[in-house]
Amino acid sequence: TILKLSLLWQGRNFHVLKYFTRSLETEDEPGFWKFREMTADQGLYMLARHGRCAELLKEGLV
């Protein structure tokens, strides 16, 4: 899975590009926990947790 996320957070732009080989759909997957570890401080993991990353990227919202 390739995720590209942009987030306006406390007046700053954060651009994150991460590569994962495992699914992020469930909390039981190692990829989910690695993603959460790297992004939890910015609140980005919530998008992946709900499976909305691809949908938001398509809509241009992220």
Q: Given pLDDT bands bounded at 50, 70 and 90, which one contains residue 62?
A: very low
Question: Residue 45 pLDDT more than 60?
Answer: no
pLDDT of residue 22: 43
Question: In whole angstroms, what is the distance from residue 11 CA to residue 50 CA?
Answer: 25
Q: Look at the chain and report how many structural domains it folds into.
A: 1
Inter-residue contact 3 to 32 (CB < 8 Å)? no
Tokens of 41: 């401080």
pLDDT of residue 51: 54
Q: Are strands 12-19 and 2-9 parallel, antiparallel or unpaired?
A: antiparallel
Structural domain for 39, as ranges: 2-59
The three-state secondary structure class of 33 is helix
pLDDT of residue 20: 45
Tell me the CA end-to-end span of the chain in Å, nearest whole number. 16
pLDDT of residue 1: 42
User: Each residue of 5-38: pLDDT tens digit?
Assistant: 555 555 555 454 444 434 455 556 666 666 667 6
